[in-house]
Structure 1
Amino acid sequence: MKKYVVLLGVILIISCVQNRTTEKSGVAVVRINQLGYLPESIKVAVFAEKEATSVNSFSLYDAETDKEVYVSSTPESKGAYGPFTSAYRLNFSEYRTPGTYYLKVNSTQSPVFRINADVYDHSADFLLEYMRQQRCGYNPFLTDSCHLDDGYILYNPEREGERIDVTGGWHDATDYLQYTATSANAVFQLLLSYRDNPEAFGDAHRANGLPGPNGIPDIIDEAKWGMDWLKKMNPSPTEFYNQIADDRDHVGYRLPNEDSVVYDPKRKGRPVYLASGEKQGVLQYKNRSTGVASTAGKYASAFALGASVLNDFYPGYTDDLPKRAKDAYDFGEKNPGVSQTAPGSAPYFYEEDNWMDDMELAASSLYKLTQDENYKQKALHYASEEKITPWIGRDTVVHYQYYPFLNAGHNELATALKSQEKETVASYYDMGLRLLHERGKDNPFYMGVPFVWCSNNLVTAAVTQCKLYHQLTGDDTYLEMEAALRDWLFGCNIWGTSMVVGLPKNGDYPVDPHSSLNHLEGYQTYGGLIDGPVYGSIANSLIGVELHDEDEYAEFQSDLVVYQDDVGSFSTNEPTMDGTACLVYYLSSLENASITGGHRKKQYTYDQSGAIIRGDKSERKINLMFSGDEYADGGEEILKVLEKHGIKASFFFTGNFYRNKKFAPLIEKAKDQGHYLGAHSDKHLLYNDWEEKKRLVSQEEFKADLKANYEEMEKYGIKDAPYFLPPYEWNDEIITQWADQMEIAVINYTPGTLSHADYTTPKMDNYRSTDRIMQSILTFEEKEGLNGFMLLSHIGTESDRTDKFYSRLVELITTLKERGYEFDTLESLLSLKD
Structure 2
Amino acid sequence: MKYRYSVLSLLCFFIAIRSDAQEFRINLAGYLPDGSKKVLFLDSEFSTERRFVLKSVADSRFELKLKAYSKTNWKPFERTFEIHFDEFQNGGEYFIQELNSGLQSKPFTIGLFPDWQEDVIGFMQTQRCGFNPYFGDSCHKRDGLSFYGLVPDSSLVDAGGGWHDAGDQLKYLITGSNATARMLQAWLKYPNQFKDRVLSNGLKGENGLPDVLDEARWGLEWLLRLHPQKEVLYHQVADDRDHHGFKMPQNDNADYGWGANGYRPVYAATGRPQGLGKYKSKATGYANLAGRTAAALALGFQAFEQFDETRIFAKRCLLAALEVYQLGKENEGFQQGNSYGAPYRYEENTWADDMEWAAAELYKVTNQKTYLKDARKYAEEIGNWSWMQRDTASHYEMYPFVNMGHYAFWQTGNRKDKKRAAEYYRQNLKKVQERAAGNPYGVGHLFIWCSNNLSAAVATQAILYEEMTGDTQFRQLIFNQINWIFGLNPWGTSMITGLPENADWPLDVHMPFRVLNKQVVKGSLVDGPLWSTIHDGMLGIQLSEEDEYKDYQPPHIRYHDDYADYSTNEPTMDGSADLILLLTYLNTGR
Common fold by TM > 0.5:
yes
Letter in 2 for 1:446: G
Q: Which residue of 2 aligns with 1:137?
A: 130
Q: Which residue of 1 aligns with 2:303?
A: 309
Select the residue among 288, 296, 299 that pairs with 1:294: 288
Q: Which residue of 2 aligns with 1:2?
A: 2
Change in 2 beyond 3 A, CA 1:376/1:311: same
C-alpha displacement of 1:157: 4.2
**C-alpha distance in structure 2 between counterparts of 1:89 and 1:409, whole Å:** 36
**Relative contact order (C-alpha < 8 Å, sep 6+): which is higher?**
2
1:160-559 matches, cutoff 5 A: 160-265=153-258, 268-313=262-307, 314-559=310-555
**C-alpha distance in structure 1 between counterparts of 2:443 and 2:4, whole Å:** 31
For the Cα contact (< 8 Å) 1:3–1:16, is it kept in 2?
A: no
**C-alpha distance in structure 2 between counterparts of 1:375 and 1:21, whole Å:** 61
**C-alpha distance in structure 1 between counterparts of 2:71 and 2:90, whole Å:** 28
- More displaced 10-residue stretch of structure 1: 173-182 or 407-416: 407-416
- More displaced 10-residue stretch of structure 1: 525-534 or 101-110: 101-110
Secondary structure of 2:314's partner?
coil
C-alpha displacement of 1:285: 0.7
Letter in 1 for 2:217: K
C-alpha displacement of 1:332: 0.6
Q: Point out where structure 1 has 5 or more consecutive residues left out of the alignment.
A: 6-12, 595-834
C-alpha displacement of 1:69: 3.3
For the Cα contact (< 8 Å) 2:92–2:111, is it kept in 1?
A: yes
For the Cα contact (< 8 Å) 1:26–1:555, is it kept in 2?
A: no
Q: Which residue of 2 aligns with 1:94?
A: 87
Question: How many equivalent residue pairs?
Answer: 584
For the Cα contact (< 8 Å) 2:409–2:417, is it kept in 1?
A: no
Q: Which residue of 1 aligns with 2:121?
A: 128
For the Cα contact (< 8 Å) 1:536–1:558, is it kept in 2?
A: no
Letter in 1 for 2:283: S
Select the residue among 110, 114, 119 that pairs with 2:109: 114
**C-alpha distance in structure 2 between counterparts of 1:332 and 1:97, whole Å:** 52
**C-alpha distance in structure 2 between counterparts of 1:19 and 1:356, whole Å:** 51
Q: Deviations over 1:270-301 (max 9, x none)?
A: 00000111110101110111101011001110
**C-alpha distance in structure 1 between counterparts of 2:551 and 2:43, whole Å:** 11
Q: Deviations over 1:483-537 (max 9, x none)?
A: 1001110011111110000111111111111111100111113111000011112
Secondary structure of 1:353's partner?
coil
C-alpha displacement of 1:538: 2.0
C-alpha displacement of 1:375: 1.1
Change in 2 beyond 3 A, CA 1:199/1:121: farther
Letter in 1 for 2:581: Y
Larger-gyration structure (1/2): 1
Q: Point out where structure 2 has 5 or more consecutive residues left out of the alignment.
A: none
Secondary structure of 1:71's partner?
strand
Q: Deviations over 1:600-619 (max 9, x none)?
A: xxxxxxxxxxxxxxxxxxxx
Secondary structure of 1:242's partner?
strand
C-alpha displacement of 1:560: 1.2
C-alpha displacement of 1:77: 2.7
C-alpha displacement of 1:22: 3.0
Change in 2 beyond 3 A, CA 1:306/1:157: closer
Q: Deviations over 1:670-717 (max 9, x none)?
A: xxxxxxxxxxxxxxxxxxxxxxxxxxxxxxxxxxxxxxxxxxxxxxxx
**C-alpha distance in structure 2 between counterparts of 1:63 and 1:585, whole Å:** 31
**C-alpha distance in structure 2 between counterparts of 1:18 and 1:588, whole Å:** 33
**C-alpha distance in structure 2 between counterparts of 1:163 and 1:344, whole Å:** 21
- More displaced 10-residue stretch of structure 1: 105-114 or 38-47: 105-114
**C-alpha distance in structure 1 between counterparts of 2:153 and 2:373, whole Å:** 38
For the Cα contact (< 8 Å) 1:26–1:49, is it kept in 2?
A: no
Q: Which residue of 2 aligns with 1:828?
A: none
C-alpha displacement of 1:26: 4.1
Change in 2 beyond 3 A, CA 1:26/1:167: farther
For the Cα contact (< 8 Å) 2:453–2:575, is it kept in 1?
A: yes
**C-alpha distance in structure 1 between counterparts of 2:400 and 2:140, whole Å:** 27
Q: Deviations over 1:370-423 (max 9, x none)?
A: 122111121122112222242113232111111001111111111223433212
- More displaced 10-residue stretch of structure 1: 214-223 or 316-325: 316-325
C-alpha displacement of 1:113: 0.3
C-alpha displacement of 1:541: 2.2
Letter in 2 for 1:154: F
C-alpha displacement of 1:14: 13
- More displaced 10-residue stretch of structure 1: 371-380 or 165-174: 371-380
Moved over 4 A (4+): 13-19
**C-alpha distance in structure 1 between counterparts of 2:11 and 2:196, whole Å:** 30
For the Cα contact (< 8 Å) 1:501–1:526, is it kept in 2?
A: yes
Letter in 2 for 1:329: Y
Change in 2 beyond 3 A, CA 1:15/1:97: closer
Letter in 2 for 1:33: N
For the Cα contact (< 8 Å) 2:12–2:104, is it kept in 1?
A: no
Change in 2 beyond 3 A, CA 1:82/1:453: farther
1:612-691 matches, cutoff 5 A: none
Letter in 1 for 2:332: P
Letter in 1 for 2:271: G
Change in 2 beyond 3 A, CA 1:315/1:46: same
Change in 2 beyond 3 A, CA 1:49/1:411: same
**C-alpha distance in structure 1 between counterparts of 2:49 and 2:203, whole Å:** 52
Give me the TM-score of the superposition, normalised by structure 2.
0.96
**C-alpha distance in structure 1 between counterparts of 2:511 and 2:9, whole Å:** 20
Q: Deviations over 1:628-665 (max 9, x none)?
A: xxxxxxxxxxxxxxxxxxxxxxxxxxxxxxxxxxxxxx
Give me the TM-score of the superposition, normalised by structure 1.
0.68
C-alpha displacement of 1:57: 4.0
Change in 2 beyond 3 A, CA 1:4/1:44: closer
Secondary structure of 2:23's partner?
strand
Q: Which residue of 1 aligns with 2:577?
A: 581
Letter in 2 for 1:583: L
Change in 2 beyond 3 A, CA 1:18/1:426: farther
1:597-612 matches, cutoff 5 A: none
Letter in 2 for 1:422: K
Letter in 2 for 1:437: Q
Q: Deviations over 1:168-200 (max 9, x none)?
A: 110000000000010000000000010001122
**C-alpha distance in structure 1 between counterparts of 2:259 and 2:203, whole Å:** 35
**C-alpha distance in structure 2 between counterparts of 1:142 and 1:220, whole Å:** 21
Q: CA RMSD in A?
A: 2.0
**C-alpha distance in structure 2 between counterparts of 1:396 and 1:109, whole Å:** 37
Q: Which residue of 2 aligns with 1:566?
A: 562
Letter in 2 for 1:132: Q
**C-alpha distance in structure 2 between counterparts of 1:347 and 1:290, whole Å:** 19
1:741-780 matches, cutoff 5 A: none
Secondary structure of 1:253's partner?
coil
C-alpha displacement of 1:71: 1.6
**C-alpha distance in structure 1 between counterparts of 2:465 and 2:570, whole Å:** 30
**C-alpha distance in structure 2 between counterparts of 1:261 and 1:471, whole Å:** 47
Identity score, percent: 38
Change in 2 beyond 3 A, CA 1:354/1:419: same
**C-alpha distance in structure 1 between counterparts of 2:4 and 2:428, whole Å:** 42
